Structure formats: structure tokens, C-alpha cells
Amino acid sequence: MTLPVFTSLSGGTQGVLFDDERQVLDDTVGYRGATACKVTGITYRQLDYWARTELVEPTVRGAKGSGSQRLYSFRDIVVLKIVKRLLDTGVSLQQIRSAVVALRVRGIEDLAQLTLMSDGASVYECTSQQEVIDLVQGGQGVFGIAVGRVWREVEGSLANLPEANGEAEAEEYPGDELSARRARRQQNVS
């Protein structure tokens, strides 16, 4: 049985894999590109390319001209880490694009309950343990990525790294990151 790229096998939940509570995320808190790169293990060049080609765009704040910086949400960083893992296992960028489109439409809770399986060519989404078993027994799944586990890894990595408030900086200094930095430096000196 051949399934199309990024196929959902059914609508179950994984229960025991993701029982623990996750923190409520603030949509205005973002992380700069350097932080996203450090957490995900990608280069800034990859991050920039993926943003420009709309593979994974920052949802807190996009770059708007010279001097502005992109701010990536927690969810963006989870998706970046998933993209990196899929690339590392040999999945084509075209297949990854299809998977990212499907990931974007999922809610936060749905995303954390998901396991991605791949045979190196196609990506499948599984939302129950039985789906994973069925896929492996059918010979289609070679490796899996438990999105909830990636979620926890990113959460742990970001715990001690700086975050930025996209709304506050955007209101004070719209599109001018350099002015925002100078003002913060002046406040710290005073």
C-alpha cells in the first residue's frame, strides 16, 4: 500500500507518549535567528534561505528592511528542528515542504501529539501507537520523529537563552532594531 506524501493514517491520540503538561505559549515572545540556529543545529544561511523561500517563516516578526531582525516563535523553532532532522535523514526538501504545510495547519496541542514517520522518500503523520505499528509492519516507516519529544528538547534548550518581545520592540522602534538596541543600552547605562 503506497500512501501519498504526509498522510494522516487516522484521528487517534498517542496518549502515553505525551501525558505531561506543556506550558502555555505567549505569541508575542520570540527568539532571534542566532538563538533559533543554536537550538536547532542549523546555520544562519539555512535559516535565512528557509525564511526567504517561505519554508519556515518567523511568525512573531519577519525582517522588514535593513537593521530589522526576524523573531521566531517557540513553534517555529520546533518546526525548524523537525525540518533539520528530516533533512539529516535524506528526505528531499520538496517532501519536507509538503510536511511543513501540513504542520502549519495543526494547532499547538495537535502538533505535540504527532509522530512523523518516513521511509526516506515520503513523510507520514501518525497520531496513535497503532498507526506507527501499522506503518512499520507495512514496510513503509523506517524512522520516526516524535514531535512531543522534539518539543521538550526545544523547551529545555530555550530555557536559558534570551527571548525578545516582538510587540514591544515593534511599537517602540518600528522596523529599526539598531535604534531599539541603542535605547536599551542607554537605559542600562543610566
pLDDT in the model for residue 125: 85
DSSP 8-state symbol, 27 = T
Q: Is the dihedral of CA 40, 41, 47, 49 positive or negative?
A: negative
Distance CA 33, CA 48 (A): 8
CB 163 within 8 A of CB 29: yes
pLDDT in the model for residue 37: 95
pTM for the complete prediction? 0.70
pLDDT in the model for residue 178: 57
CB 48 within 8 A of CB 55: no
- Dump the DSSP string for 76-87: HHHHHHHHHHHH
DSSP 8-state symbol, 16 = G
Per-residue model confidence as pLDDT tens for the chain (190 residues): 333 344 444 444 333 334 444 454 566 788 999 999 999 999 999 999 999 999 999 999 987 777 778 999 998 999 999 999 999 988 888 888 888 887 777 766 677 788 888 877 778 888 888 888 888 887 766 788 888 888 889 988 888 888 776 554 444 444 455 556 666 766 776 6
Grid cell locating 55 = 519554508
CB 123 within 8 A of CB 86: yes
The CB-based long-range contact list for 18-21 (8 Å cut-off, 24+ gap) reads: 18/112, 18/113, 18/148
CB 132 within 8 A of CB 144: yes
